[in-house]
Structure formats: structure tokens, C-alpha cells
Amino acid sequence: MNDTPPRTMSAGECWQALREHEFGRLAYRLLGDVHITPINYAVDGDALLFRTAQGNKLLSAVMHEPVALEIDELGSEDAWSVVVRGRAEVLGETDAQRAEQVPLRPWVAGDKDSVVRIVAVEVTGRRFRLSKPWEHIVPTS
Amino acid sequence: MNDTPPRTMSAGECWQALREHEFGRLAYRLLGDVHITPINYAVDGDALLFRTAQGNKLLSAVMHEPVALEIDELGSEDAWSVVVRGRAEVLGETDAQRAEQVPLRPWVAGDKDSVVRIVAVEVTGRRFRLSKPWEHIVPTS
């Protein structure tokens, strides 16, 4: 068993990681259920932007609701995960043009006219030293 | 813009991917908010197992609540994502011994006595062909 506890990442480290990535997973509620979907995002100041289609199920689901976005990286020795929690809002046309100024690129097909902004309320990150699997094989009695 | 729509993965493909991986993200509700956290899991029949500590915030949060677990892989040309939705339940001692029979390995430090099972209610997966970024640079007017 690896006894190294997870290390908390500073806010600076978390934002650095967020800026260096563009692919995350968004968790949100819809009709009492919890959903999670991959999205690509861009950092704009203290907010995250992503594109979605008008009338999209995701769009209606996230409007003014609490959401959480996660990014992570898994190495052979360690892993880290950053989570941004906040509320989602759809940008008006003027604000939406900001999305042209940030590297917010839709990766997949379809009209994605709406730009959604998540203003970060809480940003947390943790680094884990991974246990070596062969170090904690438990003998069965 | 890449016009290839996402392709739906079959249930078989989804389970194959779930069996081949052990690192995912769990989305759940707690006090009206949505949370997301990285976990490692194992497949056991049509369920997923993961370990957590007794009295853990995660444990109380997921008990009998709807949860969603996501795994994904991002390549240079394409990406895929599989989402399992279901409800979480804590296993009794006998059932928990099943966790010794599956490759469920806690990666990080700490006592993780409780085994949580998520019985899959819905399993969905999508494959995306990624757009080439240089193909959709939009001229600013």
C-alpha cells in the first residue's frame, strides 16, 4: 500500500492545468438524474467556455444549474485531477464573440451556436502517488 | 469542420471498454450540488465496484442515489466516451469479498473498507472523429 496521501494542488497549479488542457467532462443534473459528458472547453479569465447547439439537451440542463467540470491525467507513477464547480450561463451575442478570441474549437460535427460560460465558484485539484499494484496483492484466506 | 457525426457504440463495445479500463470519473449529487471525482473501479458482471472509506463523504453521497461514471480516451484523430448510469449501494461483508476476486485495486493511501456497487441501468458510448483544428479557423470580420 502506498502511504503517500493525495497532495492538494494550489489554485495556480489548477488554473495552469486548465489552461494547458481543452478536454474535460461536465457533470450536471437533468430531471433528478446526474449526467456526465465529455466536452471541450477554453479558459477565459476565471471562467470556462464551451460551445453547444441551440435547443440542445445539455444547454437546457445546465442553465443556471450547478455544474462540475473535471480534467485529469493518469501516469504510471502518479495522477492528478482538477475539478471546477460553478453555475452555467449562456452568453449573449456580444459576449459570445469572445469565444472567437480563445482557443475554443468544436471537435465534432454539428452546429454549435451557443456559448456557455461557467464562472468558477470553487477550483480544487489533487495529485496522487499511485500504489504499485504488486505491492498490495492481498492473500485470500 | 468535420462532418462525421458521433457514432453510437454497442453495449458490447461499451462493456469491453469498461473491462479494459480501471480509471473513471464518478458524478454524484451532494446537498443540491453536483460533484465529480476520479475513482478506480472494476467490472463485476453487469455492475461496477469501487472502494471507499467508511464514513467517507463520497459514500454517504452516493448511497441509493443516481450516479454516473464515465471513462474515455482521447487520440489525435478520434475519441470515445462511455457513460454508465445507475444507483450506488454499499455491499455487505460477504458480497464485499467479491471485490477480492476482481482486479479492484486502491491506488492511493488510506483505509478503504467499504465496497460500493453500481448496478448499471443505462450504458451508452460514443465515438467521435475529431475535427482538424486548422480546418475550422474562422476569419474574424
pLDDT-wise least confident of A6-15, A96-105, A128-137, B56-65: A128-137
Please report the ipTM that was assigned to this predicted complex. 0.83
Say which residues have a Cβ less than 8 Å from residue B13's Cβ, sequence separation at least 6.
Answer: B125
DSSP state of B57: H
The reply to whether A11 touches chain B by the CB within 8 Å rule is no
Distance CA B83, CA B69 (A): 6
pLDDT tens, position by position, A74-84: 888 889 999 99
Could you tell me the end-to-end alpha-carbon distance of chain B, in angstroms, rounded to an integer? 19
| Per-position DSSP letters for A6-25, written without gaps between them | PEEPPHHHHHHHHHH--EEE
Query: Taking CB atoms and an 8 Å cutoff, what residues of chain A touch B34?
Result: 27-29, 34, 65-68, 85
Using CA coordinates, name the residue in chain A closest to B32: A66
Burial of A110 (0-12, 13-18, 19+ CB in 10 A): middle
pLDDT tens, position by position, A4-50: 778 999 999 999 999 999 999 999 988 888 999 999 899 999 899 99
**Residues B117/B52, Cβ–Cβ less than 8 Å:** no
Q: Which domains does chain A have, with CATH numbers?
A: 7-132 (2.30.110.10)
**Is it the case that residue A113 has pLDDT exceeding 90?**
no
Query: Taking CB atoms and an 8 Å cutoff, what residues of chain B touch A23?
Result: 74, 79
* Residue showing cell 456580444: A94
The reply to whether A118 touches chain B by the CB within 8 Å rule is no
pLDDT at position A47, please?
93
pLDDT tens, position by position, B101-113: 776 766 665 666 7
pLDDT tens, position by position, B31-57: 888 999 999 899 999 899 998 887 777
pLDDT tens, position by position, B55-74: 777 887 888 889 999 999 98
Distance CA A118, CA A88 (A): 5
